[in-house]
Amino acid sequence: MKNVTIYSTPTCTYCHQAKDFFREKGVEFNEYDVAADTEKRQEMVEKSGQMGVPVIVIGEDMIVGFDRNKVAELLGLEE
């Protein structure tokens, strides 16, 4: 399984949907709350060029926002 990281905030609906999707599919992930962690916020902006969340990193691939089909494809999951 590829390494999965999500940069999120507590109030982001799409972040919650992404994390629920990972849990439903049994995908382990690292989560960083960029509202509270300024270091991780800066890391996210440097990687993505974006301030919007979620930013999801799957292996070497990055998705800004939550695209269920793209995430499933990158993880090799059937949708």
Structural domain count, the chain: 1
H or E stretch covering 34: none
Read off the pLDDT of residues 40-66 as tens digits, 9 standing for 90 and up.
999 999 999 999 999 999 999 999 999
State the Cα–Cα distance between residues 20 and 47, nearest whole angstrom.
24
Record the tokens describing residue 9, joined without a space.
């905030």
Under 8 Å between Cβ of 59 and 2: yes
Residue indicated by tokens 């990972």: 22
Q: Which domain holds residue 8?
A: 4-75
Of the pLDDT bands very low, low, confident and very high (cuts 50, 70, 90), residue 9 is very high
As a whole number of angstroms, the distance between CA 16 and CA 20 comes to 6
Give the domain CATH number at 70.
Answer: 3.40.30.10
